[in-house]
Structure 1
């Protein structure tokens, strides 16, 4: 119940959830969400499948930050982001576009997912240049796309293993990697892994190419120290970044100069921080869940 003029816990929950959703999804978020979840038609993935479990969980907030930090260690990928993405000038716009793409391809109608992939591929075809070392790059290069893909998949899965509400078993984790491969291949990535073991091998294969350039260090500083946030959002964001950094492999933390005086106590503190903030986000967003249609009755139609 609610008395006139009084704010209830439910009001606070909805308000917090609304602020979080608007930050992540942008001004068009409610309309996009309604279309994604209620438009009739076949989907690429069955309702409740591992990719939907992972991508629909609050652990994605930690996984997304980890993915950005890890992806920055590929000099060509980092050069493309620095020169063409506008992440500094419009970080919230970039976040909204990325989150919408993930939602459409994971939950949306198959033709909407295919259209989203086609738009991204068109953008990639136009993004080209040279790294500061003079190495030419094209964003649509299959190997470059493969790095972006495996860094994301590894980050999302590890964050979900640590902070997800419903962690997957071994078979579910392999199925998650296999399902994300559908999207990776559609985007043009080469040699996308289809199991957790293949994912680890693919990442290891990229290691000789990875190094922290000045642009990568600048990006890490921006993400961790200068986020475009203020007021009450700054503290929970700091908890998210602590969880993301702790999830990075030791070699990546060292490259990005994030090791500092690492200790088991600090690692436990970072894990506790990630747990607290993902629980808070999950609690807030659950006050206004996405609309649901009878997606289970629709045939699944993933791209070849």
Structure 2
């Protein structure tokens, strides 16, 4: 007679796996530091940014953001030449998740420390791209591009896969709230509405290219993730859902397919299923950590 697995055991195992990958071994201690330390925060408990960044749709949104960001040759050059995303992908993921958690949920002094850490790292990321142009991670123009790609991706994923849909006014609030963090990082005049976000994104279109480094990063993220075989089917659904959220103009340069019928009939239900499963597992934690961006 077949023995059915205990749902609570499966849930606990999945939650532990996600927590280990995204937050790291010190997750409980870090959660207390960010969520239970008294003091003022940048955002109120009911702020849209808290809802978006805590939702399982961020796994899809974060991957979409990385793919979209790679299309800027100077931003991609900085990642290719200075990032350890291949040698230490989980460490990079955990640092990104910690930054999102600190700035979204932590006390203001903790958020400011997280901002300062990133700015110190950016000060040392500079060089010459393969096309001969100089780049710097502290360049306000590049900072804005990275910010726009992130919030557009996080919001797009939440719109399609989030547990609770935002109203139009809440979507604008999300963009404005994310701008608080962006401004602290050095982004000039970040958008405060969805419409302004889309307008600013369009202004970068002529700068975007599918460079060899961008296509290599896309292959690594989508085809060669550093995951055990058992985790790859679920990750494959997340990856396919992230690609399906990209606009058509962003896919060609990365040599990614555009299959609208397949995406609507198969990928969208699959994406909803995988985010529901992750949400179910993450609900075992007292404090839900945001997924990476």
TM-score normalised by structure 2 residue count? 0.95
> Could you tell me whether the CA contact under 8 Å between 1:76 and 1:137 is conserved in 2?
yes
Q: CA deviation at 1:30?
A: 2.2
> 1:230, 1:112 → 2: CA distance?
34
Instruction: Give the corresponding residue for 1:278.
Output: 275
Q: CA deviation at 1:11?
A: 2.0
Q: CA deviation at 1:150?
A: 0.4
Residue correspondence of structure 1 range 24-39 to structure 2 within 5 A: 24-39=22-37
1:129 counterpart = 2:123? no
List runs of 5+ in structure 1 lacking aligned partners.
1-5, 292-304
Q: CA deviation at 1:191?
A: 2.6
List runs of 5+ in structure 2 lacking aligned partners.
289-293
1:215-264 deviation per Cα after TM superposition (whole angstroms, max 9, x unaligned): 0000000000000012221110000001100000000011111026x241
> 2:31, 2:132 → 1: CA distance?
42
Q: Identify which of 246, 249, 252 aligns with 1:248.
A: 246
Q: Secondary structure at the match of 1:126?
A: coil
> Could you tell me whether the CA contact under 8 Å between 1:242 and 1:273 is conserved in 2?
no
1:148-195 deviation per Cα after TM superposition (whole angstroms, max 9, x unaligned): 000000000000000000110000000000000000000001231100
1:58-96 deviation per Cα after TM superposition (whole angstroms, max 9, x unaligned): 000000000000000000000001111110000000000
> Could you tell me whether the CA contact under 8 Å between 1:146 and 1:190 is conserved in 2?
yes
1:288 counterpart = 2:292? no
Q: CA deviation at 1:270?
A: 1.5
> Could you tell me whether the CA contact under 8 Å between 1:243 and 1:274 is conserved in 2?
yes
1:265 counterpart = 2:262? yes
1:193 counterpart = 2:191? yes
> 1:267, 1:137 → 2: CA distance?
39
Instruction: Give the corresponding residue for 2:291.
Output: none
> How large is the RMSD of aligned CA atoms in angstroms?
1.4
Q: Secondary structure at the match of 1:137?
A: strand
1:234 counterpart = 2:232? yes
Instruction: Give the corresponding residue for 1:101.
Output: 99
Q: Secondary structure at the match of 1:259?
A: coil
Q: Identify which of 51, 56, 73 aligns with 1:75.
A: 73
TM-score normalised by structure 1 residue count? 0.91
Q: CA deviation at 1:7?
A: 6.6
> Could you tell me whether the CA contact under 8 Å between 1:145 and 1:189 is conserved in 2?
yes
Instruction: Give the corresponding residue for 2:12.
Output: 14
